[in-house]
Amino acid sequence: MASTPRHPEVLLIGAVAALGWAGSALLASHMSGWASLAQAYRLTGEFPAQRWSFQSAAMRWYANYGSCLTVGADSAGLYVSVFAIFRIFHPPLFVPWSEISVRRGRILWSRVVEFRLGRELAIPFRVCEKLATRLRASAGGSWPLEINA
């Protein structure tokens, strides 16, 4: 005979927390543009050897991914994934350099580099200049022509 939990409210609180977590991830995926990018650019292969963890980026509608990204690059394109614990509704992405535009600029006192991911989608993906320099070195001659802001 199955025993009933002594405190069923604990199960209810856990279920509500899990649904809240999933709902937040779903909302962030759609607001940021990640869901749209995943439809066209879901990673099917392997991440390149050259990658950096604990990276940050800002996407559209003020969606920030702070220190929870792994970002990589090679001559084929840009690779982005969210840490496993946050991966629900955020599959890893691969966007070819031919589908990316690059613009350097400033936000307040910080220098940033904004990638526009997907020619048709043009989802903003803003990173610090230090990460952009690493990505450019990994991309080599495949790096897109930069537009100055």
Summarize pLDDT for 32-64 with one digit per residue, the tens: 899 999 999 999 888 877 899 999 999 998 888
CATH number of domain containing 122:
2.30.29.30
Query: Considering the domain boundaries, does residue 93 fall inside one?
Result: yes
Residue 71's nearest CA partner among 62, 80, 63 is: 80
In-domain check, residue 13:
no
- State how many domains the chain has: 1
Give me the domain span that covers residue 85.
34-148
Query: What does the pLDDT read at residue 2?
Result: 63
The reply to whether 26 falls in a domain is no
Is pLDDT at 1 greater than 60 in this prediction? no
Distance of CA 87 to the CA centre of its chain: 10
End-to-end Cα separation, the chain, in angstroms: 69
Predicted confidence at residue 45, as pLDDT, reads 84
Give the residue-averaged pLDDT of 19-37: 77
pLDDT one-digit tens code per residue, 68-115: 999 999 999 999 999 877 778 889 999 999 999 999 887 787 888 999
Any domain includes 134: yes
144: confidence class by pLDDT, cuts 50, 70, 90: confident
Residue 34 to residue 65: CA distance in whole angstroms: 11
pLDDT at 87: 76
In a domain, 67, yes or no: yes
Query: Residue range 122-135: average pLDDT?
Result: 94
Quote the pLDDT of residue 4.
63
Of 13-17, 123-127, 143-147, which range is least confident? Answer: 13-17
Q: Identify the residue with better confidence: 24 or 67.
A: 67
Asked, for residue 113, whether it belongs to a domain, the answer is: yes
Comparing CA positions, the residue from 47, 28, 44, 24 lying closest to residue 36 is 28
